[in-house]
A and B are shown apart, each in its own frame.
Chain A
Amino acid sequence: MIIPEPFRLLTSLLAVAGFIGANAAYLVWVERKAAAWFQRRAGPTEVGWGGLLQPLADAIKLMSKQIIVPPGTDRLLFCLAPVLIMVPAAMCFAVLPFSAALVPRDINVSLLMVFAFGSLNVIAVMLAGWSSRNKYAIISAARVVSQNVAYEIPMLLVVITVLMVSRTMNLTEIVAKQAGGFWHWNVFNLAANPLMPVTFVIFFICMLAETNRAPFDMAEAESELVAGVFTEYAGMGFGVFFMAEYANIVAGCAMATILFLGGWHSPIGLWPGVWWFLLKMYFLIFTVIWVRWTFPRTQFYGLLNLSWKILIPLSLFTLVLTSGLLKIFGR
């Protein structure tokens, strides 16, 4: 079925916006429920059945709050930062293939585009920290910048490994090449590189660090830096940061699913479709939540050491190994 272009554009836009909004709202609920489950308590129960309307109540509360811009801040940048963090996160979804047919925009360099926009959020966090005129915020912003620079490198090296194996920058084609059972997925593609499962783990760790999630949550180290870069944000300004965090997690987990776990392909070749993609993605998101409520925060220098001393050499090694193997055995 061919849908006329303007309608397609409009539906894609609405669908992406709806998907991000629903996910950001309900992942908060999922996270709170999961955290409650890990901690042997009930979690939200009051608003709606099982607390299902809690995100709505939170949204109303946040929106009805006054947006306070503290005196002495850089007003423009202070207000721009939440927008700048939300837009790139949303842009990533414009090219993510949910299934073979369900791609908002199928472009040739979608891989590049996702990572180009994905790396923009560090600028927004830095702006937020800088313009807040708060010492805790600026310490946190400095941390986030060095953290994101450190983790961008192993992440991209790993992505290049996948790129060499798939020989395309088109996400739809990358997934299409992983068709036919879980042994064809990139994570188990041991013929191309015996260290492929390790690269997946590296990607996942880098994704945690890039999205500033525990145990790498230096941006909002609440026991050290009060609330980090978000210290001065009130009401919906904070709410947008909060939504962007979940949008980034969804985008990151979606990318991990696409690059390593065969996207919409079924592990046993049955019933391929978007549900497999969603199942894998939400499993990864659950893992992200699980990690957060299990581990304490790392030290800041421990985090940089992990990247520069372990992850970068390891990902460089897998990159060289993959290129060597490709050169020798070819395709």
Chain B
Amino acid sequence: MLKVLDTSHSTGPQETFVLNLGPQHPATHGVLRVKLTMDGEFITNAEIVCGYIHREHEKMGENRKWDQFLPNTSRIDYLSAMMYTHAYVAVVEKAAGIQVPRRAEYVRVLTSEMNRITSHLLWWGAFLIDLGGLTPMLYAFDDREMVLDLLEALTGARLTFCYYRFGGLCDDVTDDFLTGTRKFVKHFRPRLKIFRRLVTDNIIVRKRLEDLGHVPAEMCRKYGATGPMIRGAGVAYDVRRAEPYSVYPELEFDIPTQPAGDNMARYLVRMAEMEQSLRIIEQTLDKMPDGPFMAKVPRILRPPAGDYVFAVESARGRFEVRVVSSGKEIPHRVRLRSPCFCNLSVFEEACRGMLLADALALMGSIDLVIPDIDR
């Protein structure tokens, strides 16, 4: 069998070598280093060395006021900045007991789902570059650009959005934004069909993804892998449904799952998630209530002492913020549970015995954002 190396019958000294994948390697999408012990082109052992861009976000949170930490959250996983800001904003609101207006919650869901689409589009392009197909990236960016233009007009940022505030939003949505979003939804559905015909059904893509890079549900549970990783292993775990937050309980959407647990399963889950995000966006646009977009919030926040946890479903999985307040202007402790760190830890076990090229396809299918791993 070619796909998995069987070393049980080999005799004599094992002739292996160490291949240093990274920290500057085109396939790791950033400064991640993996020390691979290779037997020819087969991987016998992988050791992940991370921490190259560790920035101490958690410590920074403990050194500044509650609101001063807000911009940091969008720089942890810069591809799902909206969701990350949502988690932090929501945990502080929970701690301080702030009631968020419904309009603000709807806009939060709307912008978060738009952010999810941009994140998945970027992953799609980058993943296909990992597989050696260079053109889909530009197709993905074509559509991503439309969303980013809308979000830029709304928030002023294109990547590290800091749009949510404790108790609501920084600014109300404009009519231009809402009509532009409707236009994008109409434009994007046929584009997803094009992507399917152009890439998903391509025989080379199928051969490279199907039946390779197995990450079964038990392995996901063992390492705490969430998001498309565990949904690609057949478990319908989604924080939006498991621990409903914001106005997600009022919206209809499915949790796409695939039973296979291979690269293709994760790929298909993400493609289906983009369609579900479009559904959510349409519903929020239809149901968007009128009213204030900001609650009354005290000028200086001093949440009562206690331990507060809030989790959101980011584009990569469960992102959880835990804050410990001692009733002061500054949090006593900030702890971030980022999905990429747990998702990546699966790699060491899952890639064993694989060929280098297939292991890199597996790494691409995990959808890594390195600053999210190192924090």
Contact = CB atoms under 8 A, between A and B. Distances in A.
Q: Which of B130, B132, B135, B202 has the most CB of A within 10 A?
A: B132
Given A40-B138, A223-B129, A223-B130, A296 B205 contact: yes
Given A139-B41, A223-B27, A296 B142 contact: no
Nearest to A218: B357
Main DSSP-derived SS at the B contact region: helix
A214 interface: yes
A130 to B, nearest CB: 15
B132 A223 contact: yes
A208 to B, nearest CB: 13
A17 B41 CA distance: 39
Nearest to A39: B138
Interface in A103-155: 135-136, 139, 143
Nearest to B198: A294
B50 interface: no
B222 interface: no
Given A221-B132, A223-B130, A297-B132, A215 B204 contact: yes
B131 A293 contact: no
B153 interface: no
A296 to B, nearest CB: 3
Contact of B357 (A40, A136, A295, A299): A299
Nearest to A222: B26
A123 B355 CA distance: 25
Contacts of A222: 26, 132
B207 interface: yes
A223 B355 contact: no
B125 to A, nearest CB: 11
A301 B26 contact: no
Nearest to A135: B19
A10 interface: no
B59 to A, nearest CB: 35
Contacts of B279: none
Interface in B343-373: 355-358, 360
A298 B208 contact: yes
B25 interface: yes
Interface in B15-35: 17, 19-20, 25-27
Interface residues of B, number: 30
B138 A221 contact: no
Contact of B131 (A35, A41, A135, A297): A297
Interface in B114-152: 128-135, 137-139, 142
A46 interface: no
Nearest to B212: A299
B355 A215 contact: no
A269 interface: no
Contact of B135 (A38, A136, A223, A301): A38
Highest count of chain B CB atoms <10 Å: which of A143, A296, A302: A296
A297 B205 CA distance: 8
Name, among B27, B130, B134, B356, the residue most crowded by chain A CB atoms within 10 Å (CB to CB): B134
A222 B133 CA distance: 11
B356 A224 contact: yes
A40 B129 contact: no
B26 A223 contact: yes
B91 to A, nearest CB: 38
A178 to B, nearest CB: 33
B242 interface: no
Contacts of A210: none
B133 to A, nearest CB: 3
B133 A296 contact: yes
Given A39-B135, A222-B26, A296 B202 contact: yes
A296 B41 contact: no
A158 B93 CA distance: 73
Interface of A: 35, 38-41, 135-136, 139, 143, 214-215, 217, 221-226, 293-302
7 contacts: A39-B134, A39-B135, A41-B138, A223-B27, A224-B27, A225-B356, A294-B133
Interface of B: 2, 17, 19-20, 25-27, 41, 128-135, 137-139, 142, 202, 204-205, 207-208, 355-358, 360
Given A40-B142, A222-B132, A300-B41, 11 more contacts: A39-B134, A39-B139, A40-B139, A225-B356, A294-B133, A295-B202, A296-B208, A297-B132, A299-B358, A300-B357, A302-B204
Closest 3 CB pairs of A and B: A297-B132, A296-B133, A39-B138
